[in-house]
Amino acid sequence: MNDAVFHPIEQLSGLLAQGKLSARALTRAYLDRIERYNDTLNAYVAVYSEDALRQAEAADTRRGMGLALGPLDGIPLAVKDLCGLAGRPLTAGSRTLAGQTAATTATAMEKLLGAGAVILGHAQMVEYAFGAWGVNPLLGTPRNPWDAAVHRVPGGSSSGSGVAVAAGLAAAAIGSDTGGSIRTPSMLNGITGLKLSAGRVSLAGCVDLCHTLDTLGPMARSAWDAALLAGVMAGADPKDPRTLHTPQPPIVARRAPGLPRPLSGKVITTIALGSLPHALAPAFAQAYAETAAHLRGLGATVHERPLPFDLRHMMDCVGQIISCEGYSLYDAVVRDASTPMGNAVRQRMLAAESASARDYLRLQIAHRHACDTWLDWMRDTDALLMPGLPITAAPLEGLDESSTALSIYTRPANFLGACALALPAGFADGLPLAVQLYGKPADESAVLEIGVALQDVTDWHLRHPAL
């Protein structure tokens, strides 16, 4: 059972279907690991053991009667502490919301529960989901499990979700991504994370930060797992009007079993490393080049092409949009110095205090223009291979939280309206490396299909830390 907690959902689901594993035993295994390791890792802010075991027993009963709800039935998940579960605490990682409980269950959570998922608990996060490093000075910063000697950052803002999956405290987790908050902790923790296009998954019942850019999505062991979870959560919801005006094609990750070149016909663009905002260190450049080589070997047409965008400018614009919308929601809390709030998050929101309506509207116009340009530029391309992060997980001690080092290759996806898949791609000094695939809006299936093919010929996603 110790090994089973690190299996992808695809494998766990097969074991459940074959009767070789029960959902209760699997849930108990994750709960035992949470009890053993969470005090050190701080991945969970709340654990719902009794409810989880009851949900698992119900899943076993359904399977025993031949009524399994699908491949997610009986699979234990963690959910970020901004996803409402009726009657449960909902604090978005902030002491300013202490005592608040969710009046309703978020639509996306209802869909997961309806598919039979077992909810283990709420995962730790950066206050109000505004921070890439994963630091939470008031509730504690989760510990990156890849270094037992040094407390390294987990990445944020879905910090606890990333740590929970990497450390075998959940089969997968749900995070949110406004400027990289799913992909950054996924990449720093060596797991797979999917940022869906805005409007693909309902945000009803979730704590808001930035309505323009907020998205929910999966953090999992594999691209196949991410596709399964995304497919369950996605779809139109009258409670979130954005979903009613967003294309909602099915999300699937098709395989071509037995074919030596399963990506034949796919066109993937790469970037000349010399045109990046700063040079990638050798290990990062090697991971990028090796991924491109794998794609060619799988039959894809891979060609280099200059970007018509300024990555650093887009990164800055995303930060400004988040600040403006976050400040508009939480200005009373932010401006009151007596409220229990971390200084770094407070300062990020206060950055919008002097922003004018004209400033904000210009950002929105630039965002819409970038989305149109991206759609046109991607017309004959299935995906853009992007670097992951330019650094590995940094030590928490001495960290400069004002640095945007983790955001240069993540935030542009949000500004462009792209979907994006973060994939493990190697290690440097024992710490995970990663790459990303950017895709067209609402074309998650394309990047997921590429991700599945890559992971069928590599094993980076199957490696896990030794705790």
pLDDT in tens, 285-333: 999 999 999 999 999 999 999 999 999 999 999 999 999 999 999 999 9
Q: How is residue 61 written in tokens?
A: 């009963």
User: For residues 74, 204, 201 and 92, what is the CA-based torsion angle, rounded to 10 degrees?
Assistant: -70
80 is catalytic: yes
From the number of C-beta atoms within 10 Å of its C-beta (0-12, 13-18, 19+), residue 277 rates as exposed
Which CATH number belongs to the domain containing residue 116 in this structure? Answer: 3.90.1300.10
Residues 57-81, mean pLDDT to the nearest whole number? 98
Secondary structure (3-state) at 421: strand
pLDDT of residue 441: 98
Q: What is the pLDDT of residues 26-56, one digit of tens each?
A: 999 999 999 999 999 999 999 999 999 999 9
Is residue 420 assigned to a domain?
no
Secondary structure (3-state) at 100: coil
Domain that holds residue 210: 4-263
> What is the distance between the alpha carbons of residues 395 and 150, in angstroms, rounded to a whole number?
7
Name the β-bridge partners of 172: 77, 220
Is the pLDDT reported for residue 123 higher than 80?
A: yes
What is the 3-state secondary structure of 353-381? CCCCHHHHHHHHHHHHHHHHHHHHHCCCC
Strand 216-220 vs strand 172-176: parallel, antiparallel, or unpaired?
A: antiparallel
pLDDT of residue 338: 96
pLDDT of residue 406: 97
Band of pLDDT at residue 1, cut at 50, 70 and 90? low
| Whether the Cβ atoms of residue 420 and residue 195 lie closer than 8 Å to each other | yes
Q: How is residue 225 written in tokens?
A: 């797992």
181 is catalytic: yes
From the number of C-beta atoms within 10 Å of its C-beta (0-12, 13-18, 19+), residue 179 rates as buried
Per annotation, catalytic residue among 80, 111, 195, 266: 80
Is residue 208 assigned to a domain?
yes
> What is the distance between the alpha carbons of residues 208 and 63, in angstroms, rounded to a whole number?
37
Amino acid identity of residue 449, one-letter, is E
Strand 118-123 vs strand 44-47: parallel, antiparallel, or unpaired?
A: antiparallel
Residues 353-382, mean pLDDT to the nearest whole number? 97
Is residue 448 assigned to a domain?
no
Per annotation, catalytic residue among 13, 94, 157, 202: 157
Is residue 170 assigned to a domain?
yes
Name the β-bridge partners of 386: 436
pLDDT of residue 68: 98
Amino acid identity of residue 425, one-letter, is A
pLDDT of residue 256: 76
Per annotation, catalytic residue among 13, 159, 181, 222: 181
pLDDT of residue 260: 84
Is residue 199 assigned to a domain?
yes
Phi, psi of 331 (to 5 degrees): -60, -35
Greatest CA separation found in the chain? Answer: 63
Q: How is residue 407 written in tokens?
A: 């955001």
> What is the distance between the alpha carbons of residues 407 and 132, in angstroms, rounded to a whole number?
7
Residues 190-216, mean pLDDT to the nearest whole number? 98
Is residue 259 assigned to a domain?
yes
Band of pLDDT at residue 130, cut at 50, 70 and 90? very high
pLDDT of residue 257: 75
157 is catalytic: yes
Of 228, 278, 301, 296, the closest CA to residue 390 belongs to 278
Helices (H) and strands (E) in the chain, counts: 13, 11
Q: What is the pLDDT of residues 204-261, one digit of tens each?
A: 999 999 999 999 999 999 999 999 999 999 999 999 999 999 999 999 998 877 788 9
Is residue 315 assigned to a domain?
no
Through-space distance between the first and last CA atoms of the chain, rounded to whole angstroms:
15
Compute the mean pLDDT over every residue in the chain, rounded to the nearest whole number.
97
Is residue 187 assigned to a domain?
yes
Domains identified in the chain, total number: 1
Is the pLDDT reported for residue 22 higher than 80?
A: yes
pLDDT of residue 3: 86
